[in-house]
Structure 1
């Protein structure tokens, strides 16, 4: 006997909750501490399959009541109940029509909800990220700076991807390259290094709560005085981008997500991931010229005067 037919409908293949962190102006001088990174963007991504229609389907995002949000697309409803703030969107309004309209995928599409987090910021960072540049004031035509990047997990991390990049552009008469990295044996200067290396299948680097990792990057600053058209003291040295992925659940932080049809039934969600993106641009003071303080003269001011010779 064949199996009895089952009711079919859309399914969310994956749900991704992404929180982005950065410093207030995306830069820091010399040393970065965890408290300097603030959450600013919250993006919810999802992929739908088996959908004949999304008419009447709603996405609901639930936050603690004291969460302050700004949104690029206003919700259909914004209410507070039982200490929770509930945003409701019509799912059709969130479909990514811009990028996927041409794909011939029957019943499949993607959606995205973009929100901005405002103060007071919730505590959402699963790692303690610290960065320090030594020295933070560099001098010389050909000199080196060592940057230490430290990670310590406060929550379990299933996978991480760290990218460290020297500036891709060149100031007139100046070049910054990566000449050494503790995570790889560098033979030639590079503009970027990654942990883990880019290869397929993608290696997994996980962290247990309390586990720490440290990486050291050596950057070389080389100046060509003949090509310098201006002298600027503060320079970008190293851009850090850290992506963290952890298995999650639809109702876990940073927010609870559910998709409901016109009859109030929840759409199944097969897989949920939480993503954390941390970016920071390290800056230092640099000059190719040595700076020396003028030594005080032992002579009295009047003795240093040059006497004019009579004609």
Structure 2
């Protein structure tokens, strides 16, 4: 069991590193072509890979569960989350957008109370409030350090939280490959919506095509590593490694884009991550 837990923790850290690299690549490519087009090409590449995986596993590309209410809600949430968070990492500092994204588990915990009737004690409610305080410290509404583009990250974070909540109600018969195919299809739809608004599609160069192919490969690796992590070892130990994404994102933001997170952003990030880890651990203790 300890070996499985170690493996799961390493897989989670690998997934978060890959997601951070994926965000970095998308931010870089979007400087040369419309963001909507980047989403479309990235989504199509992921769809092809997961379609091949589904066929190799003997799974159908279409599942009746795609038309159920939970998946339709997941559709709306996934599209909005992908759309707004991609805009956030393109227009706002990568480290800032990634810091706000770390509040997703807190929103999911609060949403589980509202939509699934789960019980949350006062300690976890306090942790949720502290986490949201950390988000406010990062955003700094009304202060000189406030960046309007950071609100895109908030909208994306809320979309991803809605996706996670809807996924819990998804049919259990759907394979990971089918869910992956569904998720990347949402990227395409989000890209079409954005590109129809902005226009300006360009023919990608060989270098840009290669970079996008690398982003697809990293994105699929991240998804598979995340799935493997959540199915290996003790979740109470593995899940907190999700927050390593912020470390990787800040490192890439500093090294690649020359970002310099200020003290308020770092303190707010610490509150968000700390409260999220406490909530996860407390939740697992309640189940034990």
TM-score range, shorter chain: under 0.3
Structure (1 or 2) with the larger CA radius of gyration: 1
In terms of fraction of residues, the more strand-rich structure is 1
In terms of fraction of residues, the more helix-rich structure is 2
